[in-house]
Structure 1
Amino acid sequence: MNTPAETIRIGALVPLTRPGWVEPGRHLLAGLELAAREVNDAGGIAGRPLELVVRDTAADPDKAEAAVAELAGLGVAAVAGEYHSVVARAAATRADALGLPFLCSSAVLDALTEQPTEWVARLAPAQSRGWAVYADFLLGAGRTRIAVAADASVYWASGTRILRDRLAPRGGTVIELDMRALTPEAVCDELAGDGATALLLLTGSPEPAVPIVRSVRRDPRLAEVMIGAPAGQPESAEWARLLGGDGAGIPFLRYLPERLGPLGVRVGAALRERLAEAPSFVAFEGYDTVTVLAEVLRSHGTDRARIAGSWPHVAVEGTRGQIGFSRAPGIGVWQWAWAPIQVVARDRADAGRFRVLHTG
């Protein structure tokens, strides 16, 4: 009598409820699940089925830490996923302490761990790279006096610092607007008084980002001010539903190549069917995460130390290019250097389409 093959379990950390940003969480999970299904349809890992054990982090670092500890106790071979940088940092720190491999899908904060670790790898480009590309775009567009409407967070503070460091040597300035103290209308007054040529939304979505956009778009004093959102808020379908045409023409960072290869095209079509909408780059990150882990499991087995030791030897074809990990200066985790980076915006003539404005 045949006995069922033992399941290989991977923990999946995803923001699925508020105050987490739910839409990217849903896209991330769709990518993770699609790749896992395809692995199993192709025979699993040496005949053993792959199972995702999903935990909702809800953008809460404490929940993420608890989930990592729980998943370690459940015997997962590795942990994957997460979107919010501060949450991913908590998960990475806990995974490092427990000796549990963690492949981070989407979080970009450079300091994902306080100290260098062998246990953590990341697919998303580091914030210092992506946001420097965004700063170069601003300079190329002639926007040198930049206001940032910022919430209190290590992620937003880090982004502000990267922008300032990139812009200042080239004559740019960054003005900080504290969203703990300002209403959207007060933001407009500050912009008009400071003469800023661009406003960057370093805030949550839909609140307060959407009301800020509405207020700026309706203020005749600010007709020439460009609104930007490097963290990617305008990519979401929710953004387009809430803002319509007002949400177009707002540049953001997207980690996709200008043209997808055959694998990316096939996966993109499958993700669109699964999501019932166009997949964001986060969905591709989810798919690539499981694709990498499946190859590592095939080559190195389920021993956690061997998985962590495999990061520098990864060579996997992903949806957005060949994936391999290396050590990048100032970053303590194994890093795919680098995922493709674009600055894009919804087309003002058709808010359902995206225009590529800059690549880096």
Structure 2
Amino acid sequence: MNAASSSEGKRSVDTSAVRIGALIPLSRPGWVEAGRHLLSGLELGVCDINRAGGIIGRPLELLVRDTAADPQRAIAVVDELDSLGVAALAGEYHSVVARAVASRADSIGLPFLCSSAVLDALTDQPTNWVARLAPMQSYGWQVYADFLINAGHARIAVAVEPSAYWASGIRILRDYLGPRGGDVIELDMRTLSPVALCDELASIRTKTLLLLVGYPEPAISIVESVRRDSRLAGVTIGAPAGQPEFGGWTTQQQVAGTAIPFLRYLPERLGSLGVRVQAALRERLGEAPSFVAFEGYDTIAALAEAMRSHGTGRARIAESWSSIAVDGTRGIISFSRVTGTGVWQWARPPVQVVDRDPASPDSFRIRYAR
């Protein structure tokens, strides 16, 4: 081989970065704390992949964009990332935003692995371009409904704000609890103050209130009002969407924010990978990582496996969902077609109902698991 052909061979090896677009709520009204945890997981995943040699010698590069929980802004971000030549999209926490991202990604042929949003139907029609790690809302919230029934909670009041996500949650609870003797009473927080909500709860004499509202407000004000009201001393507050998961909840709520059961997508015990990643995430975050941080890490693990096995072309990544089986922090991740989602879905990620221990607000108690 002469010098020219040798030089030509070296130039043919592609060592450019494989770009992944990361969509994350990093400013209000997005849930910024969740976004910070999601970003930490994604970044740690990228670091680990690159330490191990990248994708067949090519490093991963994360292009991070803030969605601010705004679907229209997210669509514009998808178009920008498309123009920058990303191989795939990752992330998002808010369901209505993820749905907008999924629809746009499907229309332009850009793979999207959704990390954390749970709304059942991410797309109107089945698509091969979108996959998801988080459980379907109907699955997770049915687990929560099982917990309520087993704990003797049948007559449920829900403090609710308008949202496709909250409306879907109410339908799931009503459809699941109704045939089992349960009842769901909606209390519209557009017309009720936290104090007026307490009056309603005392009037209807329910012992269970679920928070289907935004965080930090009005969720924090509702909890404070209910906890202070002597008429409601026996009322159990629940938050299926997971508001108490993050450290900011205890910073603002202290003991008042404990004993509020919520959904968390972690196994009862982490395996060796999960334990290692947990320690690394804690160091990055300066606090215990939430399940959202693990979802971020697992997103990169699954995308890396797709690209190693099928290549970095967009169509090839979209073709890979059905054949992926990769060791994630919370179990073996694989995707299948699940009725009602329209996307490739990790069908059975771990689901727990947990709460914060009143005796130690930084510790969690597992109340129910599947």
**Range of TM-score over shorter length:** over 0.9
Instruction: Tell me which residue corresponds to 2:85.
Output: 75
SS at match of 1:323: strand
SS at match of 1:185: helix
Aligned pair 1:341/2:351, yes or no?
yes
Q: Deviations over 1:105-138 (max 9, x none)?
A: 0000001111111100000000000000001101
SS at match of 2:22: strand
Cα RMSD (Å):
1.0
Instruction: Tell me which residue corresponds to 1:49.
Output: 59
SS at match of 2:28: coil
Aligned-pair CA distance for 1:43: 1.2
SS at match of 1:39: helix
Q: Which residue of 175, 183, 191 corresponds with 1:181?
A: 191
Q: State the 4+ residue runs in structure 1 displaced beyond 4 angstroms.
A: 1-4
Q: Which residue of 267, 270, 290 corresponds with 2:300?
A: 290
Instruction: Tell me which residue corresponds to 2:216.
Output: 206
Instruction: Tell me which residue corresponds to 2:3.
Output: none
Instruction: Tell me which residue corresponds to 1:102.
Output: 112
Instruction: Tell me which residue corresponds to 1:274.
Output: 284
Larger Rg: 1 or 2? 2
SS at match of 1:310: helix
Letter in 2 for 1:307: I
Aligned-pair CA distance for 1:329: 1.6
Distance 1:314 1:290 in 2: 13
Q: Deviations over 1:287-323 (max 9, x none)?
A: 0000110111111111111110110001000000000
The percent of aligned pairs where both chains have the same amino acid is 69
Distance 2:322 2:79 in 1: 25
Instruction: Tell me which residue corresponds to 1:310.
Output: 320
Letter in 1 for 2:254: G
Letter in 1 for 2:152: G
Distance 1:67 1:220 in 2: 49
Q: Deviations over 1:327-353 (max 9, x none)?
A: 112221000011000000000111110
SS at match of 2:128: coil
Structural mapping, 1:123-272, within 5 Å: 123-272=133-282
Distance 2:365 2:268 in 1: 10
SS at match of 2:368: strand
Distance 1:331 1:292 in 2: 19
Aligned pair 1:322/2:329, yes or no?
no
Could you list the runs of 5+ residues in structure 1 that have no partner in the other structure? none
CA contact (8 A) 1:109 1:155 kept: yes
Distance 1:349 1:166 in 2: 33
Letter in 2 for 1:125: P
CA contact (8 A) 1:145 1:195 kept: no
Letter in 1 for 2:154: T
Equivalent pairs, count? 360
SS at match of 2:162: coil
